[in-house]
């Protein structure tokens, strides 16, 4: 008896979904504000506004979580972090089991009553691959 393609696909689809399930469950969502690392490590709030000259002196920025802890976002460039300092953000990512660091997959910024995606690792990777294709001497990642 010859099975139709749609029948075979309907049987295979649940198995493909199950294979991708662990990847979807491994990332968590973290919400908080981006603040300067120096200030966060000393328990003070700074910079106080986006144009505060103190921003220039901060070596890095961290995600301040609701429980008072902070987490580094090592795969986000400083430029991205500076752009959204003091804003409420949400990141999808994987927290390192030993260190207070999150590998960010997606960065969203709160705008009004919703979060808007402003950066993703997948798009960043695509950009760098495209640049290497267009410009063979491109020295990015």
pLDDT tens for each residue of 58-115: 889 999 999 989 999 999 999 999 999 999 999 999 999 999 999 999 999 999 999 9
**Residue 106 forms part of a structural domain:** yes
Asked if the model's pLDDT at residue 3 lies above 80, the reply is no
Q: How confident is the model at residue 14 (pLDDT cuts 50, 70, 90)?
A: very low
**Residue 125 forms part of a structural domain:** yes
**Residue 50 forms part of a structural domain:** yes
**Residue 5 forms part of a structural domain:** no
**Residue 8 forms part of a structural domain:** no
Domain count, the chain: 1
**Residue 91 forms part of a structural domain:** yes
**Residue 116 forms part of a structural domain:** yes
**Residue 141 forms part of a structural domain:** no
Asked if the model's pLDDT at residue 18 lies above 70, the reply is no
pLDDT digits (tens, 9 = 90+) for 87-96: 999 999 999 9
β-sheet bridge partners, residue 98:
none
The model's pTM: 0.73
User: Structural domain of residue 93, as residue ranges?
Assistant: 27-134
């Amino acid at each position: 008896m010859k099975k139709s393609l749609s029948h075979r696909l309907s049987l295979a689809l649940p198995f493909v979904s199950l294979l991708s399930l662990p990847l979807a469950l491994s990332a968590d969502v973290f919400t908080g504000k981006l603040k300067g690392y120096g200030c966060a490590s000393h328990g003070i709030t700074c910079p106080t506004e986006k144009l505060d000259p103190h921003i220039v002196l901060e070596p890095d920025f961290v995600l301040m979580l609701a429980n008072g802890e902070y987490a580094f976002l090592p795969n986000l460039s400083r430029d991205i972090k500076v752009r959204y300092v003091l804003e409420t953000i949400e990141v999808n990512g994987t927290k390192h089991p030993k260190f207070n660091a999150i590998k960010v997959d997606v960065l969203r910024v709160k705008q009004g009553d919703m979060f808007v995606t402003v950066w993703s690792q997948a798009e960043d990777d695509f950009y760098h691959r495209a640049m290497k294709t267009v410009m063979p001497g491109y020295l990015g990642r």
